[in-house]
Amino acid sequence: MSSDTGSTVHRAIQHNEAEHRFEYVEEEQLCVLDYSLDGTVAVFFHTGVPSVVGGRGIAADLVRYGLETARARGWQVVPECSYVDAYIRRHSEYQDLVAG
């Protein structure tokens, strides 16, 4: 996958800016990372992967893509979603993005 974020994600994740979410379709199932944006602060508030396609690393890829997009655009991130929060705690390279 080629992206403007420099991400190493290999899924065809799309940034749907009009809906404020990152999207990926696996086996006709829509998987999302939803966010709100206030200036340069992005609140990542929901990660959704239908159970039928769960366990494939899709949520991790969505979050990584979202965080790489945040870095490329100069956004700070509020990890309101528990999955996003846990992901950032496990991947210290994204700690600097967390709004303080």
Domains of the chain: 14-97 (3.40.630.30)
Which amino acid makes up residue 30?
L
Nearest 10 degrees: Cα torsion 42, 44, 49, 50: -110
Sequence-distant contacts of 14-19: CB under 8 A, at least 24 apart: 15/65, 15/69
Predicted local confidence at residue 100, as pLDDT: 84
pTM here?
0.90
Predicted local confidence at residue 35, as pLDDT: 98
- Chunked mean pLDDT (size 10), the chain, 100 residues: 45 96 97 98 98 97 98 98 98 96
